[in-house]
Chain A
Amino acid sequence: MTPLKLIACDALVGLPRKPFVLFRPDADDLDRELARLEISAAVVRHRQCVENFPHWGNDVLAREAAGRTKWIPAVCLTPDGAPDDYSLEATMTRALARGMRIAWISPKEHMFSPRPWCSGKLYAACAAARLPLLVDYRSVTLDDIDEIMTAFPQLRLIVTQVPRYGRHRSLYALLERHPGLHLCLSSAYSVHEGLTDLVEKFGHARFVWGTSYPEAEGGASVTLLMYAALSDAARAAIAHGNIERLLAEVKP
C-alpha cells in the first residue's frame, strides 16, 4: 500500500557552529531522513540564515538545494531587504523571479520588531504575492501575531514549533480572530487529542505538518499525524494538500 504523501514544512538544514552530539544535520542527512520516513518533500530553511546573516544563508541554501528534488527552499526575509541595496521591493522581486514560493522571518535573531510599525511593508509584500510566511512560535509573541494579522488579514502566516499547551487559550483565540493564520504541527505539538480538536473547531484547511528537523526524531511527527482521529480528507490536507495549495497560489 502506498504510504500517505507527506510534506514537512519546517526543516532547518545546516551545521551549527557548536555541533550537535548525536547527529549532523547537513544536506545529505536531511535527504536520508526524508527517505527513511518516506517524506515526499520538505520546505527547507538554512541554519546559516540565523548562525550567519540571513541573505548569506539564502545563498548557501540556493547552492545546496540545486539538484535536490525533494527540497522546497524557503527564503529568509528581513524588513530592509538584502544588503547591499536594502530594498525590500527589489529583494522580493528578485526572489519571486528566481522561484521563491515560501519565506520565513526570524525577528529575534535578526533584531527587528515583528510588529507592523517595523515589518509592515514586508507583510504587505508577502500578502500581495500570496506568499506563505513561516515564523517560529518562539520568536514572536501572540500579541505580535494578533497585531500582524489584524493589520494584514490576507497574509498567509504559518506559525511553526507550536507548543504542547493543550487547548491553548491564546492560540485558539487567535485562530478564531484571524482566518489567515495557519499552524505547522509537528512533534512539538504533542497534544492529546490536539489535532482532532483543532480540526473539529477550525476545519482542516489551516494546518500543515512538520517534523521539527533536525532536533526531534521525525518519526514522532509522523505518528502524531498518522494516528490522530481524523477523516482521511483532513489527514491528507494536513499531510500535504494544504501546503501544496498555498504554494500553488503564490503570484510571482
Chain B
Amino acid sequence: MSAPDVFQAAGRAGRPIAGELVIDAHAHFGHGPDFPIIRPTAQAVVASMDRLGIRMTCVSSIPAIFGDAEHGNALVADGIRAFPDRIFGYLVVDVGYPEKVAAQLAGGRAAGFRGVKVWSYGARPGLPYNHPNYEPVFAYANEHAMPVLAHVFGPELDELEGHIKRFPRIRWLLAHIGSAELEKYMRFAREFPTVYVELCFSACPRGLVEHLVAAGLENKVIWGSDVVFMDQASQLGRVLFAQISPAAKRKILGLNATKALGLAPRV
C-alpha cells in the first residue's frame, strides 16, 4: 500500500501543510483597475499563508503594474518591511517612460526587492516585451542575476525568446501555463535552462499538472497563485490533489522556486 499523500490529506482536511516548504511565486498587493479586490493587503495575505502553510509569497504591486510604479511599489516595500521572512518582492518599473527606469531599478533593489515583474499587455494595453524600453530592465536584472516573473498568456513567448537567449543570468518565470500555447511554454521550459513555467490560472485546467510531470518537467514547474487577484487556496489545491508523486509535488510547491528565485540560502 502506498504511503498517504500528506499534501492531499492536508488539503482535504483544510489543515496547514506542515513540515514542507511551500512558496507562492506569483502574488500581488493592492487594488486592480477592473473590480474591487477584498483585503488586498500584506496582513491578509500572510493570514492566508498561515491557514495554508505557505512559508513565503513573492509579490508585486498591482498599481505599479497598471501604470504607477512610482508609488505602487511602496505597497510591496511596506510588506517586505513588515514581514521580511515571508514576503519576497518583485519590482515593477514604468517601462513606458524610460527616463524613470534606472532610478526605479536601483531604488527598488536598495529597498529590498529581489526580483523583477514585467507585465506587457492584456487587460490593459502596454508595450510588448520586444519593445526596446525593456532592454535596460532585463540588462539590469541580468547584471544582478535577478529572477524575472513575466506575465504571459501565449503570444508574449515569442517576444521574450530573444531576451531569454541574450540574458543568461536571469531566471525566467513564465506565468500562467495552461492559458494558451501550452506546447510552446513546454518547449521553452525544455530548451532553456533558465526558464521555469508558473501555474496560476483561474480555469484550473484538469490534468495539466499531471501532463507537465509526465512530460518530464517536474523540475521546471513552479506553483503560484496570483493572489490577491485570485485565491491562494484554490490554486494550491490544483497541486495538492494532482495525481503525481509527493516528491513531484514537493518540487513544484517549493523546491523549484528556491532555485528559480535564488532563495536557498535565505529560506
Contact = CB atoms under 8 A, between A and B. Distances in A.
- Answer yes or no: are A and B bound together in one complex: yes
Interface of A: 1, 3-4, 21-23, 36-38, 163-169, 187-188, 190-194, 196-197, 212, 214-229
Given A187-B237, A190-B231, 10 more contacts: A22-B208, A167-B37, A190-B230, A192-B39, A194-B231, A217-B204, A218-B206, A220-B237, A221-B237, A227-B48
Interface of B: 8, 11-14, 32, 34-40, 44-45, 47-48, 51-52, 202-211, 227-238, 240-243
Contacts of A229: 47, 51
Given A192-B40, A229-B51, A223 B233 contact: yes
A220 B232 contact: no
B51 to A, nearest CB: 5
Enumerate the 7 nearest inter-chain pairs by beta-carbon distance, A residue then B residue, closest first: A219-B241, A22-B207, A223-B237, A226-B14, A227-B233, A224-B234, A220-B237
Given A169-B36, A192-B40, A192-B44, A22 B242 contact: no
Contacts of A167: 35-38
Q: Chain A contact residues: over half helix, strand or loop, or mixed?
A: loop
Given A169-B36, A217-B204, A227-B52, A37 B241 contact: yes
A168 B202 CA distance: 16
B24 to A, nearest CB: 12
A193 B44 contact: yes
A167 to B, nearest CB: 4
Given A167-B36, A192-B37, A226-B13, A217 B44 contact: no
B206 A215 contact: yes
Given A23-B207, A216-B204, A219-B241, A192 B38 contact: yes
B204 A166 contact: no
A223 B54 CA distance: 14
Contacts, number: 145
Nearest to A235: B14
Contact of A219 (B34, B47, B237): B237
13 contacts: A164-B229, A167-B36, A193-B39, A194-B231, A212-B204, A222-B11, A223-B52, A223-B233, A223-B236, A226-B14, A227-B236, A228-B233, A229-B47
A38 B12 contact: yes
A224 B12 contact: no
A224 B231 contact: yes
Contacts of B38: 166-167, 191-194, 196-197
Nearest to B239: A219
Nearest to A193: B38
B242 to A, nearest CB: 7
Contacts of A218: 206, 241
A36 B8 CA distance: 10
Contacts of B231: 164, 190-194, 224
B32 to A, nearest CB: 7
Contacts of B235: 190, 220
Given A3-B12, A38-B12, A226-B233, A166 B238 contact: no
A223 B234 contact: yes
Nearest to A200: B38
Contacts of A36: 241, 243
Given A22-B207, A192-B227, A212-B204, A187 B36 contact: no
B208 to A, nearest CB: 7
A226 B53 CA distance: 13
Contacts of A214: 206
A121 B52 CA distance: 47
Most chain B beta-carbon contacts within 10 A, residue among A4, A163, A218, A227: A227
Contact of B229 (A3, A188, A192): A192
B230 A219 contact: no
A56 B204 CA distance: 30
A187 B14 CA distance: 15
